[in-house]
Amino acid sequence: MTDPVVPTRDGAVRGTEIADGVLAWRGIPYAAAPVGDLRWRLPQAPEPWADVRDALAYGAPAIQPSLGAMGPAPAIPGMVAPDALPEPAEDCLYLNVTAPADADRLPVVVWLHGGGYHLGNATQGPGDGSPFAAAHRAVVVSFNYRLGSLGFLTIPREEHTGAYGLHDQIAALRWIHDNIAGFGGDPTRVTVFGVSAGAKSVANLLASPLTRGLFSGAVSYSGGADHVSTAEQDIRLQARYLRELGRNEADLRSVPAADLLEAQNGLAAGMRATWVWRPSVDGLALDRPPLDAITDGSATGVHLLVQHTLLEGLLYDVMVPGSADETDQVLTGLFGADTATAILAGYATARPDLAADPHRLRLEVFSDERYAIASTRVADAQSHHAPVWRSRFDGPLPGFPVPGAPQGPLPATHSTDVTGAWFGLGPAGAELFGTIGAFVTTGSPQAATLPAWDAYDDKQRPTMVLSADGGRLEADPFPAQRELWDGRTWPSGTWWPVDGL
């Protein structure tokens, strides 16, 4: 097959066949390199090119902390080995397109990677996109966006600051809207799909006044519309970061990127940096708290699928032992000591099976405060404006490939549903793969292997529970546990203490 050449608004790109009957174009710039004077600026259009540009290699991921040795290349077709990617760089605003060779007005799914807004890259999730594109007859798009301080630091005396990574996401969606027809995609049938920070980004995109008409469906895996920064938090983080950097704010655009990353790591490193970085309500991409906007109908007509895992916090407790022990101080900081005590006592009453297991009980609170309740509130809000479906992934998992970690069977935890969704692997893999495929192609997650799945409402709360045994529809799982959060609001914050924040 001749390598396919597709014209775009900026110039023609040449792709290649990566699997039988599946084409891919990699490393296409959707915005100018955000370096020099464009560091901490809204994304700008890339410089057009005259000759055909080879789109055969992935673009660099965003600047981020090193995770160390990543192990051998995966043996699963379609997954992308870490050594197939360039080193992280500031010049990171690139996207990838994968499509069946005969694609013509096919539905499009756009992946937003997770990683706590400080880690991750476009291929973490869909891989090269070929298994999903081939099985579901869809066009798969993934992209990198600015992370950490370069993506979400508020800059003194700048307008519309603190949400640069979110603006990158919106720029990628605009590129897709303008160009995807040339790759065989239908710009009127675009679904955004994200996990963790990617799912919280999905909520921000639902809320943004800049995204009208850019997508018709949305999938949120372990998300919520709560993870944005208040003005007070912006000021504290800015001051703490500049102190760590030890440079005058006037020098920020000339500081080497390595020094910016070092200062970022000085605030918090590894898993403990999760929840430090988040978008600001900048007055442009977000003009108010996202849940308020969604409640008022900012995404009217956009179909939504919302999923969380059975025990979201387990992953964090494995990676940072003792994370569940932070629950008491987090609740006390949010609500005061008396309310914290009442919530923990309420969980013991609502879940008598856990009353004698204080560690697991606190993991339940951790999971709900971070993800499950936030996900429910997004589903509640959007269900008044469009069809919504709700699901929970239970596993069980066989264990964790981490020395000293608990072995299975274990409850499904944060992001362990992603491989099933993209590759159909693991417990409930067929159901997860079928659910996302059906949603992207039909606007409903009703897969052939599942029982009838009623649309969600905030009264009956029908929820599809996906497990190794298949799927079953439940009405309002764990209602007494959920009701403990009714009427409570709280600002998004860190889980582990960070000095000065």
Q: What is the token pair recorded at 433? A: 């793969």
Please pick, among 367, 414, 415, 492, the residue that the annotation labels catalytic. 414
Q: What is the token pair recorded at 89? A: 């760089």
Q: Which amino acid is at 18?
A: I
Distance (Å, whole) CA 230 – CA 225 = 13
Give the dihedral sign, CA 289/294/298/299: positive
Name 17's bridge partners.
Answer: 23
Q: Which amino acid is at 393?
A: F
Q: What is the token pair recorded at 373? A: 């309740």
The 3-state secondary structure of 227-238, one letter per residue:
CCECHHHHHHHH
φ, ψ (nearest 5 deg) of residue 112 = -115, 110
Cβ atoms of residues 199 and 114 within 8 Å: yes
Going by their DSSP bridges, the two strands 12-14 and 106-112 should be labelled as: unpaired
Please pick, among 90, 312, 369, 431, the residue that the annotation labels catalytic. 312
Please pick, among 130, 142, 149, 196, the residue that the annotation labels catalytic. 196
Q: What is the token pair recorded at 25? A: 């174009």
**Closest among 192, 11, 217, 20 to 102, alpha carbons compared:** 20
Distance (Å, whole) CA 483 – CA 368 = 11
Distance (Å, whole) CA 125 – CA 420 = 10
| Residue 414 known to be catalytic | yes
Cβ atoms of residues 112 and 198 within 8 Å: yes
Which residues lie below 8 Å from residue 480, measured CB to CB, with a gap of 6+? 346, 349, 350
Cβ atoms of residues 14 and 94 within 8 Å: no
How far does the chain reach from its first CA to its final CA, in angstroms? Answer: 56
Q: How many helices (H) and strands (E) does the chain have?
A: 15, 16
Which residues lie below 8 Å from residue 157, measured CB to CB, with a gap of 6+? none
Cβ atoms of residues 215 and 443 within 8 Å: no
Going by their DSSP bridges, the two strands 139-143 and 106-112 should be labelled as: parallel
Range list of β-strands (E), 67-137: 94-100, 106-112
Tokens 């569940």 found at: 324
Catalytic residues: 196, 312, 414
